[in-house]
Structure 1
Amino acid sequence: MKTSLAESTETLQIKPLKDEFGALIENVDLQSADDATLEKVVQAFRLHGAILLRNQTMEPDDLMRFISAFGEPELHTQKNYCLPGYPHIFRLSNMTDEDGNALGAHNDGVGWHTDYSYKAEPVMSTMLYAVEVPDEGGETLLADQVAAYNDLAEDRKAQLDPLKIHHSYVHFVENREFNSYQLTDEQRQDNPDVIHPMIRVHPADGRKALWISTGTVKHIIGMEDDEAMKLVDELVDYVTQPKYVFSHKWQKGDVLMWDNRCTLHTGSLFDDTKYQRMAHRLWVKGEKPIAVETKEP
C-alpha cells in the first residue's frame, strides 16, 4: 500500500506556524538525524509550504547534507559573499572582517519577492540558518499565496489565471532600494529576462498559488505599464494582509525553509549600528513554473 505524505510524517512532532500554514518541527537534531528522519522532514515541507526547526547546530557540511535531501542545491548569482569552499552557502550579514571587508550581503531580500523569479527555472526552496541574530528587528515574513488565491472570487481567478509577468534581473538591480553593486557584463548575459505565469500550479499536488512578486517585475503582458504596476501593487497588498502572513522572529540556531512556488517573502530591517547578523542561505533548484490551463474563448 502506498504511504501518503501525511502518513509518512506521523512520527514527527509538528505544530502549525500560523493557522493551516507551515510546520514547526520539534525534537529533531538535523546534525545527527538519519536519512529516514530527514526524509520525513522533506515530506513535511512538501505538505506545509514552510518548516521551522529551532536550536540547531549546523556546520557547512551539515547544511549541505540537509539541503541535498530536498534536491540539487542551486548556486548564487552573486559569488563574492559565498562561504569559502562552499559556493552553495551564501552569507547574509552586516559583519566585516578585520580589514573592514563585508562578510555578507546586507539588507539583501528586503521587499516582497520570490527567489530567482528572474530565472527560467526559479529556485524551488530557500533555507536560512541563523548564526547570529539581532535582539530586535530583522524578522523574516512569509505570505501564504495558496490561501490568498483560494480566497479570491471565481471571476477574479478567471481574470488572473491567464496573465503572464515579465521578470527582469537587470530591472531589479538597477532599481532596488538597497543597491550595493554594479552588474557585470557576465551577469547581464547570464540573466536574460523571462516570462512567468501570475498563477502557478504546484507540481506536487496541483494546488494553485498567486505568484506575484516585486523588484523583478517589469511588466504584465498585454497591459499598459501603469495599469500593470497598479495591479501588481494591489495584489501584493492583498496577499500580504496579516491573515496570510507568518512573521518569524529569529533565534540563534533556527533553520527556516520555505517553498518559493507557493509563498512570498521579505526580510525586514534592524538597527545595524547596534546589532550584528549572520545567516547562511541555501537554495534548491526548481523547475519551470506551471501555468493554469485556461480554455480559449
Structure 2
Amino acid sequence: MTTAVQLKTRELKPGFGAEILDVDLAQADADTLAGVVDTFHRHGAILLRGQDMTPAQLVEFVALFGEPEDHTQKQFTLPGHPKVFVLSNREVDGKPIGAHNDGVGWHTDYSYKAQPVMCTMLYAVEVPAEGSDTLLADGCAAWNALSPERQKELDGLRLHHSYQHFMATREFGRQELSDELKRDNPDVEHPLIRTHPADGRKALWPSTGTVTEVVGMENPKGLELVDELVAFMTSEPFVFRHKWQVGDILMWDNRCTLHTGTLYDDTKYFRTMHRLWAKGDAPY
C-alpha cells in the first residue's frame, strides 16, 4: 500500500490550486504519485511544469485519478490512443488533426452526462506565444462568498442539461447530432450546488452551453439566474488564469470549478494540446 508523501507546492492563486514543484511524472515513484493525487483532491487544481510525457504515459497518469473516460467526439482522438483527445488548429493533408476553439465559454466538462467527468487534464505539446490562456473559476470560494440567505435560496435548485441543445447552439462548430449521439447523450438534471465527496465542501456549479433551464422556474427568469451566477463565479476574485508553456500539465476538478479556453491568433500560431478525462460519479 502506498502512502502520499509531502510535496513542495505553491498556490496557483490565494486559496485555490497548487503548483507541484520538482516532480518529474515520467520518473516519479508510487509514493510521489500518490502525493500528487492527494494534492489534487484537496486543492481543486494542480499544475506541473516541464513534463515530457508520451501519450501512453499520460493515460497511465490520469488512471491514477480514476478510470480514463471516453470522448463523445471520436474523430479527433489520437491514433492508437482513444483516451487522448487532440485540441489543435493544425492540418495534415488538408484535414484538421484536432478540435479547434473547443472549450471556449465557461463550462464544466461532460455536464450533459449523468456522471460528468471528475477531472480534466491538459498537456501542452505546442503553445502560441500569446493568447490561448486557460481560466479556472473556484466554485467553492464563490459559494462561500454568498450570504447565508442567498445560499439558502440556491441550495436545492436543479439545472436541466442538454448535449443536443449545446451542439445546436454553440458558437464554434454547430452540429446536428446523429441518432446514435442523441441516444447516447440524453438530457439530464444536476444540482446547482454540488457537494464534493472528498470532504463535503460545497461549490457553486452552474454552466453555460448545456443548461436549458432551472427546473421548476420559467424562462427567461431561470436562465437569467444561471447567467448571473456564472458571471459572479467567473469574476476576478475567483479566477486563476494559466499562461501555457510547452510541457505543462494542468488538471482541474470538475466537481468544484468552471473553466474556459481563450482565443489566439490562429493565422499566426499553432496550438496543440492533449486532453484526458477521468470518470466521475453522479453529482449530489
Within-5 A mapping of 1:89-168: 89-97=84-92, 99-168=93-162
Instruction: Give the match for residue 228 of structure 1.
Output: 222
CA distance, structure 2, for counterparts of residue 179 and residue 220 of structure 1 = 26
Which residue identity does 1:109 align to in structure 2? G
Instruction: Give the match for residue 61 of structure 1.
Output: 56
Q: Give 1:181 shift.
A: 4.0
SS in 2 for 1:41: helix
Q: Give 1:9 shift.
A: 4.5
Instruction: Give the match for residue 294 of structure 1.
Output: none
Question: Contact conserved, 1:9 with 1:44, CA < 8 A, in 2?
Answer: no
Within-5 A mapping of 1:29-108: 29-97=24-92, 99-108=93-102
- Give the TM-score, by structure 2 length: 0.98
Instruction: Give the match for residue 234 of structure 2.
Output: 240
Runs of 4+ with >4 A deviation: none
Q: Does 1:25 align with 2:28?
A: no
**How big is the alpha-carbon RMSD for the aligned residues of Structure 1 and Structure 2?**
0.9
Q: Give 1:249 shift.
A: 0.3
CA distance, structure 1, for counterparts of residue 267 and residue 142 of structure 2 = 37
CA distance, structure 2, for counterparts of residue 162 and residue 233 of structure 1 = 18
Which residue identity does 1:66 align to in structure 2? F
Q: Does 1:251 align with 2:245?
A: yes
Instruction: Give the match for residue 196 of structure 2.
Output: 202
Which residue identity does 1:202 align to in structure 2? H
CA distance, structure 2, for counterparts of residue 59 and residue 28 of structure 1 = 16
CA distance, structure 1, for counterparts of residue 5 and residue 203 of structure 2 = 24
Question: Contact conserved, 2:168 with 2:174, CA < 8 A, in 1?
Answer: no
CA distance, structure 1, for counterparts of residue 196 and residue 44 of structure 2 = 11
Q: Give 1:182 shift.
A: 3.6
Which residue identity does 1:36 align to in structure 2? D
Identity of aligned residues (%): 61
SS in 1 for 2:91: coil
CA distance, structure 1, for counterparts of residue 174 and residue 153 of structure 2 = 38
Give CA deviations for 1:83-119 in whole Å, capped at 9, x if unaligned: 011111000000011x110000000000000000000
Which residue identity does 1:115 align to in structure 2? D
SS in 2 for 1:179: coil
Which residue identity does 1:262 align to in structure 2? C
What number of residue pairs does the alignment pair up? 282
CA distance, structure 2, for counterparts of residue 277 and residue 80 of structure 1 = 18
5+ residue gaps in structure 1? 291-297
CA distance, structure 2, for counterparts of residue 226 and residue 180 of structure 1 = 23
